[in-house]
Every structure is written in C-alpha cells, then in structure tokens.
Structure 1
C-alpha cells in the first residue's frame, strides 16, 4: 500500500512542478473577442501583452501570449483557430500569406495574424494599407 501512495505522490509532485502557470493552447477551450476588433476572436486562454508598433499601415495591434500556439519556432499554424475564424466569416487571403503572416478579410476589414512560438500578434490594417 505504501508503494502505491508513494507513486501517486510522485506523480502529483511531478505534475505540479511541470506546470509553469502558463495556459497552453487548447482549441476546445474556446475563443474571446480580440482587443483589436471585437468581431475577430483570439483563443480564450491567451493573455494580452503590452505592445507597440510603428508600421503606418496598421490601425490597431495586440500581442497574445499562449504556450504552444504556433508550435516549435511558430512553424505550425493553429488550424483549429483558423477554422473558427472561417466559421465566423473571416476568409483567409492565402495568396497574401508571407511566412508567419496570415491575412483575413471580412466586410472590407483586413486583419493580419502573425503566428510565432507561444504567441500571436493580431493587427487590423488601415483601409488604404498595402499588404
């Protein structure tokens, strides 16, 4: 009986030590309106971070931290997230994709999502922006 409790204790300690307190990307957790555009969602568990930008083509922008969102080195776009955007009426402009940068359009509003390892950046482009 002591061995069983010892194993359970070790599993609990190991799990507690592995938890860094950061939320991890989970498509099933859902989504929330972004600070950039309330019709454009971001993963529910993401944490908005302070962010500044100087690109004159950007109307608004924000960074969202979320462990695992882009996979290693941001090489794996969060497909379930992109599917949710599509379900909400945002069409990806696949011909405009540039590496980590993805562009979505809905009702003449263009939003860019930059996917990196453990964070995304969301930008609303100005109406006359070149992208």
Structure 2
C-alpha cells in the first residue's frame, strides 16, 4: 500500500520535472543559404525574410531563419554544433569582434554576422570594407 501511495505522489513530481526541462532544437542536416551558397544553414530552418540594407554602408544583404530553440532560452547559448559545421566549411569566427548574440565569421574576403536568438537566427553579409 505504501508503494502505491508513494508512486502516486511521485507521478505529479515527475510530470512537473519533465515539463520544466528546457526544450532543445534539432538539426536534421544542412543546405546552402539562399543568400550565399558558401554558408550552410540547417535544412529544417524556415526562411522568414530576405533583408536588404540600402541605408547602412557596412551591411550588404541578409536573411532571417526560424528554428525553434536554436539559441536556447532567451538566445543565451549559441548552437555549438552549427558553429562547428561553419568551421568545418572554412568559416573562422572572429571572437574578438563578438557582440553578445552577434558572432562574426570570415571566409576568404567575406565577413558575415550571425545573430542568434531563442527561436531564430539572422545571417548578414558585411561589405568588404565594413567597420565593425
């Protein structure tokens, strides 16, 4: 009888703990970005918008993607496996230039900024002589 009562008491606790665990994102593979084929993006990321920057001399073009929980809660934790994929394809992070959620990466003469949020990320290509 005690085991049954204990089990019934523990069940709500286990359900509550499961409900409070952080949600995670899942990358199902990679494809080329619609902005630049040299930039891999998760295949299950949904393109939200293409962005043009006619009013900013440092920014060339950008794209915004939605991928649930990519930046963890409040976008505080960058997706390390995605950044590893970028590194594997030749992108080098300019760690000294990082600004909070914004990571700068360089490959050849191209510099991009990736801004990670909780459920989305934005990739922006910088002008060649951009000051950042």
Q: Residue 43 of structure 2 corresponds to which residue in structure 1? A: 44
Displacement, 1:56?
Answer: 2.6
Q: Equivalent residue of 2:68, what SS?
A: coil
Aligned counterparts of 1:92 and 1:78: Cα–Cα separation in 2: 13
Structure 1 runs (4+) deviating above 4 angstroms are: none
Q: So what's the TM-score if we normalise by structure 1? A: 0.77
Deviation, structure 1 residue 42: 1.0
Could you tell me which runs of 5 or more consecutive residues in structure 1 were left unpaired when the two chains were aligned: 1-23
Measured against aligned partners, the alpha-carbon deviations of 1:15-35 in whole angstroms (never above 9, x if no partner) come to xxxxxxxxx7313x1111112
RMSD: 1.4
Q: 1:56 to 1:25 in 2, by over 3 A?
A: farther
Q: CA deviation at 1:51?
A: 4.6
Q: 1:108 aligns to what? A: 109
Q: 3-state DSSP class of the match of 2:87?
A: helix
Q: 1:25–1:43: 8 Å Cα contact kept in structure 2? A: no
Report if the CA contact (8 A) 2:60-2:127 is conserved: yes
Which one has the largest radius of gyration? 2
Q: Which residue of 2 aligns with 1:121?
A: 122
Counterpart of 2:37 in 1: which secondary structure? Answer: coil
**1:25/1:45 contact within 8 Å kept:** no
Gaps of 5+ in 2: 1-23
Which residue does 1:74 correspond to in 2?
Answer: 75
